[in-house]
Amino acid sequence: MSFDRIREKLNILADAAKYDVSCSSSGGTRKNNNKGLGDSHSSGICHTYTEDGRCVSLLKILLTNHCIYDCLFCVSRKSNDVKRAAFTVDEVVELTMNFYRRNYIEGLFLSSGIFKNADFTMERLLLVCKKLRLEQNYNGYIHLKTIPGASDELIKEAGLYADRMSINLEMPTEAGLKLLAPEKSHADVIKPLDFVQKNIAQFSADKKLIKHVPKFVPAGQSTQMVIGATPESDKDIMYTANAFYKNFSLKRVYYSGYVPISDDTRMPVLGTQPPLLRENRLYQTDWLMRFYGFKVQEILNDANPNLDIDIDPKLSWAIRNMQHFPIDINKADYKMILRIPGIGVMSAQKIVQARKFGKLRIDQLKKMGVAYNRAKHFITCVDSPYQLKDYQGTQIKAFILAESHSKYLKTDSNQLILF
C-alpha cells in the first residue's frame, strides 16, 4: 500500500466517523489466553483526548464513506460533495494491529456507509472481525455497527466476534427522523437491536447450563441520538432513552450535540455552536437514572419538559422537592444520601461506612470529598450550624449560583438561541 494513499484514506474515513460519539471500551471480558495480542480491561482505557476534550479509546473509522442513503444529518450522505474512500479488509486489520501494539488504542470501532446493500456491507465488517480474531489472535476490543437490514445470520455471526454492537437511533423521535431521513424509521433500528438483545439473553441463559458457550456481544449494545438538529424537548429525548434502556437492556445511550454540516433549511444553520451545555445536562440526567436511583419522570415531566440550563438536574430536582430536606447525614438511607446535591456515589458510600464508627462532622465530610458549600443547604450533621429560618428553593438556588463559577457561562448565550 502506498504511503500517501493510506494516509489520505485514514484522514477521510476517520473524519467521517468522528460524529459517532461512542468511545467506550469497557465491559469487554476477553482474556489473552491464546498468547496472542490484547486483553480487555473491564473498565476501559482512554488512551488520549482530542483537542475538543473527547476521549480516544478506539480506532474509530468507517470501512467506506460511500453511501446509498441521503440522510440530511450525516456528513457521508449521498448528495454531499465530499471525497470518498474505502479501506480494504486487510488495511483495517493491519492498522488495528499496529496501533494496538504501540498502545495507541484499546481496539477498533468499525462502522460503514452502506454500499450496494446492507448484507454486502455487513459481510465486509464481519470479515474484518474474523480476520482479527481468527488469523491475528487479537483479543482487543471491537465495537461493531450493526447494519440495519442485514440478514439475521450475518448479525448473529458478527456477535460472536464483536464485544459491543450498536445502531444509532439518530433522531430522538420518529417524527424528527422522518423529517431529515425520510428513507429511515425507528423500526429499522428496533428490529436488529431486539434481535441482538434476544441472542445475548439466550447465550447467557445457555451459559448457566452448559460450560463452554462462546461469547456473544459481551459488552452489550448501545445507541446514539443527535441533539439539537430537530426540535424535540429534553423530555422527549430522555423518555426515548429510558424506554431503550428498559426494552433492550442497552449499556449506554449517547447524546451527540449536532454540529452543523448542512445548509438545508430544515436544520440549524452552518456555524451555529453545537449545544454543548444541553448535551452535558442530558448526560447528567442519564447518570442520575443509571447510578443515582432517579426515575426519569422525577426529573422531566409535563411541568418541567426541559432541563434547567443554569443548574444541574440533581440540584434542580432538590430545590423543587425541598420537603425531603434537610437530610440527616448520620441517619438517612443510602438512597436518600445519594440524592443530596454535592454528594456523589463515592462520598455517599464513605459516609454510610464511616458513620458506624461515630457521628460525622462537617470537617470529616469535606475530607471525604463532599462539595460542602453545595450540600450544606440540604443536610444536617453533628455540628451543623443552627438554622433559624427555612430558605425557599429559589433562595438556595441564588446562593449556590452566586458562589459557583460555571465553566459554561461563556457559552450560555449560544445555548438559548437554538429554539
Partner 1 sequence: MIYVFDGSLPGLLTAVFEWFERKPGLVVLKSKDAFQPEAFTEVFFVNNDAEKADRVWTGLQKKIKKEWLRKFYCSYLSEIPEAYQHLFQFTIYIFQNEKGAEANYGNNDVMALSKYAKSVEREKHRMEAFIRFQKTGDGMFYASIDPDFNVLPLITNHFKNRYADQQWIIYDLKRKYGLHYDLNTVEEISIDFSADVNKKNPAAILMDEKEELYSLLWKDYFKSANIVARKNTKLHVKHVPKRYWKYLTEKQLG
* Site of interaction with partner 1 (CB under 8 A): 3, 6-7, 10-11, 14-15, 18-19, 31-32, 35-39, 41, 45-56, 59-60, 95, 98-99, 101-104, 137, 257, 259-260, 273-274, 276, 350-351, 353-358, 360-361, 364, 367-368, 407
Identity of the residue, 196 or 277, whose beta carbon is nearer to partner 1 in the bound complex = 277
Backbone angles phi and psi of 286, in degrees to 5: -55, -45
Whether 254 and 225 have beta carbons less than 8 Å apart is answered as yes
Is the CB of 196 or the CB of 282 nearer to partner 1? 282
Q: What does the block give as the cell for 23?
A: 468511545
C-alpha cell of residue 130: 474474523
Closest separation in Å from C-beta 268 to partner 1: 11
What does the buried/exposed string (b/e) look like for 222-244 if buried means 16 or more CB atoms within 10 Å of the residue's CB? bbbbbbbbbebbbbbbbbbbbeb
State in angstroms the smallest separation of the CB of 71 from partner 1. Answer: 18
Task: Give the whole-angstrom CA distance, residue 261 versus residue 75.
Answer: 6
State which residue, 138 or 317, has the beta carbon closest to partner 1.
138
Radius of gyration over alpha carbons of the chain, in Å?
Answer: 24
Question: Given the complex with partner 1, which of 42 and 323 has the nearer CB atom?
Answer: 42
23 vs 155 by CB, closer to partner 1: 23
β strands within 38-157, DSSP E: 48-49, 55-56, 58-62, 107-111, 141-145
Tell the burial category of 37 from Cβ atoms under 10 Å away from its Cβ (0-12, 13-18, 19+). Answer: middle
Specify the DSSP class assigned to residue 385. P
| Residue 131 or 186 having the CB closest to partner 1 | 131
Provide, rounded to whole angstroms, the least separation between the CB of residue 185 and partner 1: 28
**Which residues, 6+ apart, have CB-to-CB distance to 336 below 8 Å?**
324, 327
Q: How far is the CB of 31 from partner 1 (least distance, A)?
A: 8
Other beta carbons within 10 Å of 184: 18
Q: At 292, list the grid cell.
A: 443515582
Secondary structure of residue 51 in the 3-state scheme: coil
Of 242 and 364, which CB lies nearer to partner 1 in the complex structure?
364
- Nearest-approach distance from CB 42 to partner 1, in angstroms: 12
Minimum Å distance from CB 340 to partner 1?
17
Q: Least CB distance from residue 350 to partner 1, whole Å?
A: 4
